[in-house]
Structure 1
Amino acid sequence: MGNNSILVVDDEIGIRELLSEILRDEGYHVTLAENAEQARHLRRQMRPDLVLLDIWMPDTDGITLLKEWASSGLLTMPVVMMSGHGTIDTAVEATRMGASGYLEKPIPLQKLLSTVGRALRGGQGRPLTIFPLASLGRGPVIADLKRRLEQVADLGTPLLLTGEPGTGMDLCARFLHRPNTPWVEPDTFTVLAHAPLDLLERAKGGLLFLKEIGDLGRLAQKGLLLLMGKLEKYGVRLVCATSMPLADLTAQGAYDQQLYEILGGLCIGVPALREHREDIPELASQMLSRCIESGEAPVRQFSTAALNSLRNHDWPGNLAQLAGTVRSLALTCAGEEISAEDVKRILASSSPIQAVSGIPLNVPLREARDMFEKVYFEQLINQENGNMTRVAERAGLERTHLYRKLKLLGIRLRGH
């Protein structure tokens, strides 16, 4: 079966034994823990396919344990919460944190088996992107972002997320997605241009996420305007993301004024990775753990100096680039410990030519191109000490085109 190991965490011996008996009869492989401490210990040694977790326990409650796993990258399996005296608030909080189900005690047999079956099917073949904001970091900058997202969580207004490429705007959208409702994220804008109401039909009662809306053509912009007028009717929450300055595009006439005004009504900026460097060591360690857990890379760890090198880098490609870099380190490092030298080797971007090697290949071409152009122009401006005539000559661009390009890439000029 291969997808049948279950960890049961409950402080009541009667319930542990009962669940264990029922589940073993059904052919599941069951491990038992009587408190959070034991569960922590077992989770470090194994990765169960499913955890049944009691909310009320004497040492640490289930929700706290769930948060702990989520923020350390260990929540890679579905977790179903159990509670006898559960309030609905607790269940809602648990699903927000990433629990994939909730069972009230006494648990009816059929309900137990159907919930377990469903959770195991849902957890197969895809790592759960759970409590997604923990994958952005846990410092004050991300805590503030989380606060702002929570403030708009229950609004029906379309939300615009802005930030540099690779900052994880999709994770913010996931944070606003209510469990067990549709999540629709079209790969192309064709359907938006030709059949926008189809998208609403698919997303009914759930969330529609449109990434990089700066790229919308005229027809797709019309489709988006039409769709916005009917969000309430379909009960759809619309979240859009862009790394392009829509104000400039609108001023240039490339973007519909009305559309820009509606989108600008509720807007949250997602910080660049260099704005919350304090999170980088923990994020890099989490990413490394995931490479090791998935069996992609052998067991390795970062030296303190290596983590420090990562922390001090500027990451023009943000989280996407950090993830690509950690993956390269995990796969190419010679010893068990990843050293600062290994990091410098991978990041070797002292010249614009080599800078290409620091750009991950696991992002869409547009994002990779933006990252490359940003690094390229920043290096040129540095080398020419801010002399824009020389930069334009070396880049082979007209001055006006160069300025527009720099603005689009979010490069601030000295003294501006």
Structure 2
Amino acid sequence: MARILVVDDEVGIRELLSEILYDEGHTVDLAENAAQARALRNKARPDMVLLDIWMPDTDGVTLLKEWASLGQLDMPVVMMSGHATIDTAVEATRIGAMDFLEKPITMQKLLRTIASALERGRNAARPVAPPPAPVRTGFAPVLGSVAPALAPVPSSYAMADTSAPRMNHFDATPDVHAVPDTAGQALRNLSLDQPLREARDAFERIYFEHHLSREGGSMTRVADKTGLERTHLYRKLKQLGIELTRRRST
């Protein structure tokens, strides 16, 4: 999954996009203006940016021009607006924006555009393969005899890694019996005979309780382990009903 920076001055839009992207497995950073966007772009190095055009301090097109002029447009940027003209969209594309989303944005359009932008970004960042080495002719040995390359692999290399949780052959679900402590017991007791949303919330409660326990309640370390910003982590824990008053909030 990817790290996505959402830049929009409307809190409702930021939270909605954050929830959608989080549910898709992405890590999300939120900025309400250009100043925050600059700071997060330099600190978090996002894989892509969703950038609103109309913002109170600096508009999205001006920020896009700034990144382009500084050589900082090294990630896909998708512009968003509910009032932009065709000329504005064309100008943003000319500067370097990869796509344009018109508000209100449907979930299907959002996810399809993000997937396309991330794929194009990965292709652009993929290093060019070096040219093949010249083929030697004749019978002169190269780096010694070729016999070792034909020797069978020692049996010790073929042994399975038993340190990782075992996977079920049919559904690739981790074997919860390989998970120690109370998290493993909670996973074993997790009922799959319930709506998906409730099952996911139950799993997320187990997941975050596990990390809070392992990190001694340190929100800084839990945020680092789970890849969430502290503000998003606090909101997620509150949403899941996880009590924090008795924990250390460092």
TM-score (normalised: structure 2): 0.49
TM-score (normalised: structure 1): 0.30
More helix by share: 1
